[in-house]
């Protein structure tokens, strides 16, 4: 089963996503695809907090900040995967050590599609950043358009699509595994 969670920040997406992926994993392997690439001590501290909060939950961590399908080389495709978040992954693809890539959206969308098709169970977490009243600069607007492309492509691939509002699931497609 494939699930996409999106919604506003701090609305409980990750908690529902963790619950879902654990229900899907059963006795099989449970993977956490860690997308953050640390740039400073603040990032490293944040990662440490995330690792500690996942400790004891049974996750095997796969660090993959870019070229996300490569994480499958080190995993059993019949397992259950949690990718949190599509937002961070796209950001890494768009702004890397090679500079700014305006076409990162198409590349990330293609990789995410392949990942969704190959993994037996996978849960994606994205962020809904499309309903504010700004006239943004070109970089921000390109990023918003690219993330929306990833979201729409994943929504098509996934069995279940959920918007999370104050920890409550609004189901646009399918159903939850718990």
Partner 1 sequence: MVFITGGAYQGKEAFAAEKYGVGEDEIRACTEDGEPDWSSRCVTHLERYVWYCVKNGLTPEDRFRDDAVLTGDDIFCGVVPIDVTERAWREETGRFYSRVSSRADKVWRVFCGLPLELK
Residue numbers at the binding site for partner 1 (CB under 8 A): 4, 6, 8, 128-135, 144-145, 148-149, 151-152, 154-156, 161, 163, 170, 172-173
The distance of closest approach from Cβ of residue 1 to partner 1 in the complex, given in angstroms and rounded to an integer, is: 17
Query: Which CB, 117 or 173, lies closer to partner 1?
Result: 173
The distance of closest approach from Cβ of residue 138 to partner 1 in the complex, given in angstroms and rounded to an integer, is: 14
Query: Which CB, 68 or 161, lies closer to partner 1?
Result: 161
The distance of closest approach from Cβ of residue 148 to partner 1 in the complex, given in angstroms and rounded to an integer, is: 3
Which residues of the chain form beta strands (DSSP E)? 2-7, 30-34, 60-63, 80-84, 95-96, 99-100, 121-125, 160-165, 168-173
Query: Which CB, 131 or 166, lies closer to partner 1?
Result: 131
Query: Which CB, 98 or 131, lies closer to partner 1?
Result: 131
CA 92, 98, 104, 110 dihedral sign is: negative
Which 8-state DSSP code applies to residue 1? -
The distance of closest approach from Cβ of residue 131 to partner 1 in the complex, given in angstroms and rounded to an integer, is: 4
Query: Which CB, 61 or 140, lies closer to partner 1?
Result: 140
């Amino acid at each position: 089963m494939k699930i996409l969670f999106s919604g506003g920040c701090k609305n409980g997406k990750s908690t529902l996503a963790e619950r879902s992926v654990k229900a899907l994993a059963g006795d099989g392997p449970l993977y956490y695809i860690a997308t953050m690439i640390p740039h400073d001590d603040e990032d490293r501290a944040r990662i440490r907090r995330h690792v500690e909060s996942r400790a004891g939950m049974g996750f095997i961590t796969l660090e993959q900040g870019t070229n996300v399908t490569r994480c499958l080389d080190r995993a059993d495709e019949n397992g259950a995967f949690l990718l949190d978040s599509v937002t961070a992954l796209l950001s890494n693809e768009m702004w890397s050590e090679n500079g700014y890539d305006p076409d990162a959206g198409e590349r990330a969308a293609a990789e995410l599609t392949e990942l969704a098709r190959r993994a037996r169970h996978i849960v994606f977490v994205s962020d809904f950043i499309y309903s504010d009243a700004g006239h943004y600069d070109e970089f921000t607007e390109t990023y918003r358009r690219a993330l929306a492309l990833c979201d729409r492509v994943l929504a098509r691939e996934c069995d279940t699509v959920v918007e999370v509002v104050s920890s409550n699931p609004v189901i646009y497609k399918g159903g939850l595994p718990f």
